[in-house]
Amino acid sequence: MKSRILWILLSCFLLVVFSSCAHAERLEIKSEKPSLSNGQGKTDEWLAKPEEAGKDQGIYGIHLGLDAKEVRQKLGEPDRKDLSLLGYEWWIYNKSLDKYIQVGMKENKVVDLYSPVSSWKYKSVQEMKLESKVSFSYDRAKFTLENQVEERPLAWLEDHAVIFYLDRHNQQKISGIRFMEKDLVVKSRTYALSWSYSGQAPKVEGPILTASEERQAREGLERQILDLVNVTRSSQGLHPLLWNEQAAKVARAHSKDMLSNQYFDHISATTGLSPFDRLKKQGVKYRMAGENIAAGYRDAIEVHHGWMNSLGHRQNILQADFTTLGVGVEGEYFTQKFVTP
């Protein structure tokens, strides 16, 4: 009998938030009792699921296992296609922010599915208790997942997972829903996992991308973060932000600096420059600017919901006076640069 245990950690840092007057503030967040809501009432430590498991579940008529032809019939051609770090392709539908959806396609089948909007509905309801530890089998191994019931509880529906993203600053209401195939839950490294096996080790790593493919995937993450910021702003009655490529170059440089020199801070450990100094050095003019950073994430969806559950980062995302956004992703380091010229 062989056993192997691996812990995968998700890092979400509480950061100093900068504004145009260089005001810095550190915020504390107290944990809250786990609860779920879909906006139609609140329950305690329980979530709703469809009465019939399997292909009836999904978003806007799209469900895991659906083929590409059927997706096109229901949603049309995607507005953009992004390569994911796990090798499959994200079909992005962002023309209508109130119906935004990401459809993960692999070998012409839906393997990942996400929407941050609250207009999805279950056909019928039955209760299912959340567990702090979720056990499942995959590739001849037994896995245990450390569930995060306060922010993004995961539950198994037959052979795939559903993740509910909760808004800690809006009565724990559901702010996004995601369906994932079992292998992607393992390979995405977004939950702490342990496992044991006998014989051949399970496949827990994603595909190895070329440098060009990885850069393409990082650029996709940057654009997805802009999309998710604009979906969130639109839901609050705020204008969407425009892409700012100059600010994105500054953001990428800071993320690369943090990655290369293994630090995590708004103030560069190598140059001593502040977020505003970096903008000025690159000739980016602004009347108002802000910066969010994060590390330890591999997914635009995860980092966006992490930022929204931190008050300081949330304030930047929902700042009514910002007009443009540049995003830079290097490795697992993320930088958002909010700029009002």
Report residue 41's pLDDT band, with 50, 70 and 90 as the boundaries.
Answer: very low
Note the pTM of the prediction, 2 decimals.
0.84
Kindly report, residue by residue over 150-180, the tens digit of the pLDDT. 999 998 887 899 999 999 999 888 899 999 9
Beta bridge partners, 328, equal: 335
Report residue 119's pLDDT band, with 50, 70 and 90 as the boundaries.
Answer: low
Query: Residue 170: helix, strand or coil by DSSP?
Result: coil
Span 112-125, mean pLDDT? 67
Residue whose entry in the numeric block shows the structure tokens 């052979």: 159
Q: How many CB atoms are closer than 10 A to CB 261?
A: 10
51-73 burial code (b ≥16 CB/10 A, e <16)? eeeeeebbbbebbbebeeeebee
Q: Which residues contact 168 (CB under 8 A, 6 or more apart)?
A: 29, 32, 150, 151, 309
Q: Which residues contact 308 (CB under 8 A, 6 or more apart)?
A: 167, 169, 175, 232, 314, 317
Query: Measuring CA to CA, how many Å separate 131 from each of 34, 162, 179, 264?
Result: 11, 13, 18, 33
The answer to whether residue 309 scores a pLDDT higher than 70 is: yes
C-alpha torsion sign, points 239, 244, 250, 255 = positive
- Give the Cα separation of 65 and 69 in Å (integer): 12
C-alpha torsion sign, points 45, 50, 56, 58 = negative
Q: How many CB atoms are closer than 10 A to CB 209?
A: 16
Average pLDDT taken over every residue of the chain: 83
- Give the Cα separation of 112 and 77 in Å (integer): 17
Span 3-30, mean pLDDT? 28
Report residue 192's pLDDT band, with 50, 70 and 90 as the boundaries.
Answer: very high
Of 156-165, 229-238, 268-277, the one with minimum mean pLDDT is 156-165
Span 201-226, mean pLDDT? 96
The per-residue pLDDT for 156 is 87
Span 248-273, mean pLDDT? 97
The answer to whether residue 26 scores a pLDDT higher than 80 is: no
**Helix 211-235 / helix 300-308 crossing angle, nearest 10 deg:** 40
Q: How many CB atoms are closer than 10 A to CB 266?
A: 20
The per-residue pLDDT for 127 is 54
- Give the Cα separation of 308 and 305 in Å (integer): 5
